[in-house]
Amino acid sequence: MAHTAAAAYDKLIFELSSPGRVAWSLADADVPEADARKLLPEKHLRKDAPALPEVSEFDVVRHYSRLSRMNYGVDTHFYPLGSCTMKYNPRINEDMARLPGFARLHPLAAETLAQGALELMHALAWDLAEIAGMDAVSLQPAAGAQGEFTGVLMIRAYHLSRGEKRTKVLIPDSAHGTNPASTAIAGYEVVEVKSLPNGEVDVNALARTLDTDVAAFMITVPNTLGMFEPRIVEITELCHAKGVQVYMDGANLNAILGITRPGDLGFDVCHFNLHKTFTTPHGGGGPGAGPVGVKAHLEPFLPVPVVTKDGDAYALDWKRPKSIGKLQAFWGNFGMLVRAYTYIRTMGPDGLRAVSDNAILNANYIMKRLEKDYDVAVPGPCMHECVVSARRQKKLGVTATDIAKRLLDLGFYAPSTYFPLIVEEALMIEPTETEAKETLDQFCDAMIQIARETEANAAVIHDAPLTTPVRRLDQTKAAREPDLRWSRRP
Ligand SMILES: *Cc1c(COP(=O)(O)O)cnc(C)c1O
């Protein structure tokens, strides 16, 4: 292949291999060398040498640096992926997570040798409980989805402890896919509750569905259209009157920090996505962290172990007969807990409140700037994200996917598309509080440019993206059978 910039990306690290080339240099052994065949049983000896690339350190560094530049992340670009809260991850969090006392602590170290780590977990759980108005928090779940699963298992254990065998969980049709999935895995029948056209819960429909078979109602606040549920207190009271537990999907907590609290709204359980609201790195398959908070009546059911404090000593409490059991390897994704704790402490209560104020301001700014060129899903004001619909553009042959692809050419990551499912051609835009007005303006300019191109020359948009390392992929196949080889691109 010619010497083009693209050619540099064309090789797998295996293809850079040159026999005998190495990336290490070791001093001569100062102990006698022995033949492995004399030391190890035959069955543990490999027959053939491993097919590893033989490359220099420089080859390795250049190869992976090149690949990293093909990546798209919040450190390089605006990332308005709605519902995901892709905010900046302050570097001080990384410094703290790398402190050797945390980073090099063995997960099975004796409690007496891990007091600092246990103290941090105890303090973080307390902070999250305070932020959400809950009485206790488990830090174990590794993602929001696992937090949901944990919460639903606790709700089940609670009902069973009262001799009630309820079989259904109600979930609005605007919900994120993990809600029905984690509920079904926990053994419940999922019953969908229709939303009103503006995305709010249809309280009358809900009231008709609530009966003694219903274990819980699971709802996202603000909802997935970026709207605060105006009748939420009425809803939680209605549920409680029928013995139904209320679960808040806390993925959108970025909108309400310091403004209101799930516990005060009447929720019994809620999860936190530390990788969304609390800045821990997000994406690439994790790790994430999805702590779950509960009111006092559910505390006995928390996963074991629970970090306890006695005087100045911290300990892991395993003797909890009503616990739903252990959920996650070791104590959860501890590095994420250090980052989130650092973030909460650096922000303080006023800082966290300012997060939500600014996130809401940014989303409303974008919504206002786009409302002439795109249909807004629900007339504003919105909370921390806004949902627009490309239904107007679709009449001219341009879909939400086309718009998302064109944005990549214009230097922006795409918003979430086709979610929530109840909005036709949805584009869900979440700017987060960490973006400046200049960036928001550039993004809005790009969106408006695409709307104009749709009217003038839709063909440009159908070909997009033109400037990315790969063009339009079969998205399902790309996710299921990733083929990272440039030269085989379609
Ligand atoms: C992200 C998200 C979830 C799931 O959280 P994960 O940490 O990705 O498992 C659930 N509900 C909503 C509304 C979300 O945005």
Q: Kindly report, residue by residue over 346-367, the tens digit of the pLDDT.
A: 999 999 999 999 999 999 999 9
Q: Could you tell me the distance, in angstroms and rounded to a whole number, from the CA of residue 442 to the centre of ligand 1? A: 28
Confidence band of 20 (pLDDT split at 50, 70, 90):
very high
Pairing outcome for strands 426-429 and 375-376: unpaired
Phi, psi of 177 (to 5 degrees): -60, -25
Q: How many whole angstroms separate alpha carbon 483 and alpha carbon 12? A: 12
pLDDT confidence of residue 486: 52
Residue limits of CATH 3.40.640.10 in the chain: 91-346
Cβ proximity of 125 and 302 under 8 Å: no
User: Residues 33-49: what's their mean pLDDT?
Assistant: 91
Q: 374, 353, 370, 490: which is closest to 441 by C-alpha? A: 370
220 alpha carbon – ligand 1 mean position (Å): 10
Q: How far apart are CA 442 and CA 283, in angstroms?
A: 24
Query: Which one-letter amino acid corresponds to residue 57?
Result: E
Tens of pLDDT, residues 377-418: 998 899 999 999 999 999 999 999 999 999 999 999 999 999
CATH number of 91-346: 3.40.640.10
CA–centroid distance, residue 183 to ligand 1 (Å): 13
Domain with CATH 3.90.1150.10 in the chain: 356-478
Number of Cβ atoms within 10 Å of the Cβ of 465: 17
Report which of 438, 431, 121 is spatially closest to residue 302, judged by C-alpha positions. 121
Domain formed by 356-478, architecture: Alpha-Beta Complex (3.90)
Q: What percent of the chain has pLDDT over 90?
A: 84
Strands 245-249 and 269-271 come out as parallel
Q: How many CB atoms sit inside 10 A of residue 475's CB?
A: 9
- From CA 271, how far away is CA 290, in angstroms rounded? 6
> 464 burial class (0-12, 13-18, 19+ CB within 10 angstroms)?
buried
Better-predicted residue by pLDDT, 432 or 23? 432
pLDDT > 80? residue 172: yes
CA of 101 to the centre of ligand 1 (A): 31
For the CA atoms of 321, 324, 330, 334, what is the dihedral angle to 10 degrees?
-110
What is the pLDDT confidence band of residue 482, given thresholds at 50, 70 and 90? Answer: confident
pLDDT value at residue 488: 47
pLDDT tier, 49 (very low <50, low <70, confident <90, very high otherwise): confident
For residue 13, how far is its CA from the centre of ligand 1 (angstroms)?
A: 35
Q: How far, in Å, is the centroid of ligand 1 from the Cα of 179?
A: 8
Q: What is the per-residue pLDDT for 2?
A: 45
Residues with CB under 6 Å of ligand 1 are: 83-84, 143-145, 176, 178, 220, 224, 249, 251, 273, 288, 290
> Half-sphere exposure of residue 290, counting CA atoms within 13 Å on the CB side?
25
Which residue from 86, 148, 176 has its CB within 8 A of the most atoms of ligand 1, so it is best to mutate? 176
What spacing in Å lies between the alpha carbon of 317 and ligand 1's midpoint?
29
Residue 283 above 80 pLDDT?
Answer: no
Asked whether the predicted pLDDT for residue 57 surpasses 90, the reply is yes
**What integer best gives the mean pLDDT of the chain?**
93
Query: Residue 11's pLDDT is what?
Result: 82
The residue contributing the CA closest to ligand 1 atom 5 is 144
Q: CA dihedral in degrees (146, 150, 156, 162; nearest 10)?
A: -170
pLDDT, average across residues 216-242:
96
Backbone phi, then psi, for 43, in 5-degree steps? -65, -20
- Ligand 1 atom 15, closest CA: 83
> Where does 20-114 have alpha helices with state H?
36-39, 57-69, 91-97, 100-103
- Residue having the nearest C-alpha atom to atom 14 of ligand 1: 251
490 pLDDT tier (thresholds 50, 70, 90): very low
Model pLDDT, residue 457: 87
Residue nearest to atom 7 of ligand 1 (CA): 144
- Give the pLDDT of residue 6: 53
Q: What is the pLDDT of residues 149-168, one digit of tens each?
A: 999 999 999 999 999 999 99
Q: Is the pLDDT of residue 489 over 50?
A: no
Nearest CA to ligand 1 atom 2: 251
- Alpha-carbon Rg for the chain in angstroms: 26
pLDDT tens per residue across span 296-345: 999 999 999 999 999 999 999 999 999 999 999 999 999 999 999 999 99
Instruction: Give the nearest ligand 1 atom to 288 CA.
Output: 7
**Using CA positions, which residue lies closest to atom 6 of ligand 1?**
144
Distance in angstroms (rounded) separating the CA atoms of residues 83 and 89: 17
Ligand 1, atom 8: nearest CA belongs to which residue?
144
In 3-state terms, what secondary structure has residue 349?
Answer: helix
